[in-house]
Structure formats: C-alpha cells, structure tokens
C-alpha cells in the first residue's frame, strides 16, 4: 500500500510538471507570435527615403604641359588648395634618373644622420609639426588597402620628411655632417629642377591628379545635355576611385559641385519639388546635407533626371565620379506609434485606445506623417475636432495623448 501511494505521488507530480511545462511553452510561443498587445508612446522619428546612384559633376580645369610623356613630379599634394599662378607639378626631364638615385641615397644618409645629430632642436615648433604630420600619414596609410592611394601617401611622406631634413640642416652647425648632406642634396635637387617644365594653375581651387577624361563631359556647362542613357553609357562603377594620372593634373572649384540622379516621378510629385527647392541627402559617409535642385528633365518610365547642387563635403567627393546616396524626401519627429495602434471613426477621424489601470480611453489624434510601419501623431485642437463633426459631449470629455502613455495595438 505504501509503495502504491508513492507511485501515485510520483504520477501526480509528473502530471503537474508536464502541465506546467506545457503552459510555459504555450506562453513563450504566444509571446513570440504576439509579444505584447500594448505599446508605450515615445518620441521618435520616421522618414521616407530613396537610395540612388549619383554622378558627380564639378567645375574642373585640366592643366597639361608639353612634356607630358615624361611623367609628373608633384609639387602640390592631392587635395591641396592653391592660388592662381602657382606651380602645382613639373614634368621629369630626360636623364634625371641618375640624379634621383643620388638624391634617394642621400635621403637615407640624412635620416640616419638626423637620428645621431645631437644639436637639433627636436622640440622646435616646425619640426614638431612635421613629425605630427608624418605620424598622421603613417597611421592613415595603415588603414587603406588601395595601392594607388598608398603610393600617394608615400610621395606625401617623402615630401614632409624632406622638409624636416632641410629644417634640421638649417639648425645644424656649419661644417656638420648633416649640413653637408643637406647641401649636397640641394645641389642635386637644383640640377634636377633646372630645365624642367613647371606647370602652373590658371585659377584658384583644389589640386587633383585624378584625371579621367570626363572633365569636359560631366561639367556644369553641359547640364542640359545630360540624360539617363548618356550617363549609363559612361559605364562608371559606383564608389570606384578615379586613377591618378601621370600626364596631367587639374584644379577644382571646391566651393560647390553637382550630383545628377535618376529619381521616380511619383516621389518628386509627392514632395512637390521643383528647380530651386531644397532636398536633404545622405552621403555614403552617413553625413546629411542640404542640396538645391538645379535642373530637372523628364525621362521615360515615370522617371526624371534631377541635378542637385551642394556646397558641403565637396572635397570629400573629389576621388569619385559615381557615388551612392539617399534622397530624404521627408522626415518627421514627434510621438511615434505603430500603425496597428491607430483606428478610425467614420473612415477619416483617427483615434488610439489608451490603456490605464482598469479602464481605456479613445483619444482622437492627428497623423502628421506615416510610413509603412509607424506614424508620428499629435493631439487635435478642440476647434479641429469641432470642424470634423465631433459632438459637444465628446469634446467636453476629450482626452489627450502624452509621452509614455500605454496604447492598445
């Protein structure tokens, strides 16, 4: 009898445990399928955006000399600002390879001598500034994997190191080994520069050696000639960096540039944009800037070619001809609720159901903006509700929605 009683206890315990397990599983499944039937009102933002590709159009002037087949020795670095009439690069002269080898050999000796030289004021502001530039360039070079870009960093580093060496030579005492090396290097450098063709700017702006042959095609002067087919025929790759030229350079107006995009007419019409309107855009670096509509032309299949003008982040786009960006047609901030929480009375008067301990309230709300999943709402004024035909009794007892209210969804 005692044994039977124990068995019955085990069976009852097992049944209770199984029932409890089934209840827990059922509850979890319900939470997964429908996590909650309420929503807490919070501040938020919704927006309507369109991801597109854009063609960068700049005011850029290509500068090319007579001896372009000899290759370029950069005087001004990529992205450096210059004034009209400044020399930005020179062409190599024939037979200068021997001089370059001598200079490179001296550069090694100069760096070694600088490490041993005790009389250099290493804490002078000029040397300190150059050393900071060297460390910065080395750090930036370690973060990239583009061979062309690495080559440019190497050239810039060599230029900075040379400047540092010259300053160090000036601070060294007369007759010192370092000063002799610097003087010898200057002699070879003068020989190298004598007879070289120096190419000067014809306008002020930013120097670039990224010349792709489209400077006279994608130009502000030719906006009316742009079309979807013409841009597609260029066969440009989005995000591809323009290769550095060894034959020429150019000067770019760094105050503004244009971006040509193909946009959907339905979005253009919904936003009611026209030439002169402002539109927010987001670049691939996540920075949001304001652009101005400069030109619009109709295309087939419900699309239009739209040219945007920007005056920020211009220098950041110098490396590219085709980019990805987001057009932010609209954005709205305020009380954010899911669309499932919004109900309608007579098909045109929106309301939400607020839940509080033991009771609920139907609250009329105004929908400011609505996306696929969420809406930004606010309270109606009494006059607005009166105009919509809400009874006087309801107006007297009306409630308003507030932050952190709990809604039924």
List the chain pLDDT tens, one digit each, 409 residues: 555 556 677 777 878 878 778 877 765 665 455 555 788 999 999 999 999 999 999 999 999 988 888 888 888 889 999 999 999 998 887 667 787 788 778 778 877 777 666 545 554 566 567 667 766 766 666 666 665 566 666 667 666 766 666 666 666 665 577 778 878 877 877 777 776 788 999 999 999 999 999 999 999 999 999 999 999 999 999 999 999 999 999 999 999 999 999 999 999 998 899 999 999 999 998 899 999 999 999 999 999 999 999 999 999 999 999 999 999 999 999 999 999 999 998 878 999 999 987 788 999 999 999 998 999 999 999 999 998 888 888 888 888 999 999 998 8
Check residue 15 and give its pLDDT: 82
Q: Are residues 162 and 182 in the same domain?
A: yes
Question: Could you say which of 294, 312, 333 is where a domain stops?
Answer: 333
Number of domains in the chain: 4
Here the tokens at position 45 are 């933002």
The residue range of the domain holding 239 is 50-60+211-333
Reduce the DSSP state of residue 249 to 3 states and report it.
strand
Q: Are residues 103 and 179 in the same domain?
A: yes
Q: Are residues 319 and 383 in the same domain?
A: no
Q: Answer whether residue 154 is part of any domain.
A: yes
Check residue 145 and give its pLDDT: 63
Question: Could you say which of 279, 313, 333 is where a domain stops?
Answer: 333
Q: Answer whether residue 206 is part of any domain.
A: no
Here the tokens at position 362 are 């139907």
Query: Taking a C-beta distance cutoff of 8 angstroms, is the pair 280, 48 a contact?
Result: no
CATH number, domain with residue 371: 2.40.420.20
Q: Are residues 142 and 162 in the same domain?
A: yes
Check residue 348 and give its pLDDT: 83
Burial class from Cβ neighbours inside 10 Å (0-12, 13-18, 19+) for residue 168 reads buried
Q: Answer whether residue 70 is part of any domain.
A: no
Q: Which of 241, 82, 238, 63 has its CA nearest to residue 150?
A: 241
Check residue 16 and give its pLDDT: 82
Q: Per residue in 36-59, is it b (16+ CB within 10 Å) or e — as a string? A: eeebebeeeebebbeebbbbbbbb
Q: Are residues 218 and 285 in the same domain?
A: yes
Check residue 179 and give its pLDDT: 76
Q: Are residues 222 and 286 in the same domain?
A: yes
Q: Answer whether residue 162 is part of any domain.
A: yes
How far, in Å, are 27, 131, 257, 261, 385 from residue 156 at the CA level?
65, 13, 26, 35, 68
Q: Answer whether residue 266 is part of any domain.
A: yes
Question: Could you say which of 268, 302, 333 is where a domain stops?
Answer: 333
Q: Are residues 161 and 231 in the same domain?
A: no
Query: Taking a C-beta distance cutoff of 8 angstroms, is the pair 291, 308 a contact?
Result: yes
Q: Answer whether residue 365 is part of any domain.
A: yes
CB atoms within 10 A of CB 294: 19
Q: Are residues 324 and 216 in the same domain?
A: yes
Q: Are residues 317 and 227 in the same domain?
A: yes
Q: Are residues 243 and 189 in the same domain?
A: no
Check residue 218 and give its pLDDT: 96
Q: Are residues 168 and 229 in the same domain?
A: no
Q: Answer whether residue 236 is part of any domain.
A: yes
Check residue 110 and give its pLDDT: 76
Check residue 123 and give its pLDDT: 43
Q: Answer whether residue 237 is part of any domain.
A: yes
Check residue 359 and give its pLDDT: 85
pTM of structure: 0.67
Q: Are residues 27 and 115 in the same domain?
A: no
């Amino acid at each position: 009898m005692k044994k039977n009683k124990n068995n019955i206890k085990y069976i009852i315990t097992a049944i209770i445990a199984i029932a409890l397990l089934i209840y827990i599983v059922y509850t979890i499944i319900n939470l997964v399928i429908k996590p909650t039937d309420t929503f807490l009102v919070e501040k938020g933002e919704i927006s309507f955006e369109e991801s597109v590709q854009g063609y960068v159009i700049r005011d850029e002037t290509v500068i090319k000399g007579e001896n372009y087949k000899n290759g370029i020795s950069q005087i001004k670095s990529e992205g450096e600002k210059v004034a009209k009439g400044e020399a930005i690069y020179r062409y190599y002269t024939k037979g200068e390879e021997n001089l370059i080898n001598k200079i490179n050999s001296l550069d090694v000796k100069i760096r070694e001598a600088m490490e041993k030289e005790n009389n250099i004021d290493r804490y002078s502001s000029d040397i300190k500034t150059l050393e900071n530039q060297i460390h910065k360039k080395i750090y930036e070079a370690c973060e990239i994997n583009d061979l062309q870009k690495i080559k440019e960093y190497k050239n810039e580093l060599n230029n900075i190191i040379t400047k540092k060496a010259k300053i160090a030579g000036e601070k060294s005492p007369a007759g010192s080994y370092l000063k002799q090396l610097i003087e010898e290097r200057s002699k070879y450098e003068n020989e190298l520069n004598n007879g070289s063709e120096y190419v000067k700017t014809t306008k002020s702006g930013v120097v670039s050696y990224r010349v792709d042959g489209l400077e006279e095609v994608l130009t502000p002067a030719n906006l009316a000639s742009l079309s979807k087919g013409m841009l597609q025929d260029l066969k440009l790759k989005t995000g591809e960096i323009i290769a550095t030229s060894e034959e020429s350079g150019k000067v770019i107006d760094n105050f503004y540039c244009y971006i040509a995009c193909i946009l959907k007419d339905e979005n253009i019409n919904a936003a009611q944009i026209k030439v002169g309107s402002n539109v927010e855009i987001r670049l691939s670096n996540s920075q949001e800037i304001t652009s101005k509509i400069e030109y619009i032309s109709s295309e087939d299949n419900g699309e239009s070619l739209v040219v945007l003008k920007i005056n920020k982040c211009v220098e950041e786009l110098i490396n590219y001809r085709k980019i990805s960006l987001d057009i932010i047609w609209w954005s709205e901030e305020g009380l954010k609720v899911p669309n499932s929480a919004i109900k309608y009375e007579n098909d045109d008067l929106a309301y939400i159901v607020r839940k509080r301990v033991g009771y609920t309230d139907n609250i009329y709300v105004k929908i400011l903006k609505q996306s696929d999943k969420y809406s930004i709402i606010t309270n109606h004024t009494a006059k607005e509700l009166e105009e919509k035909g809400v009874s006087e009794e309801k107006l007297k007892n009306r409630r308003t929605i507030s932050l952190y209210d709990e809604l039924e969804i």
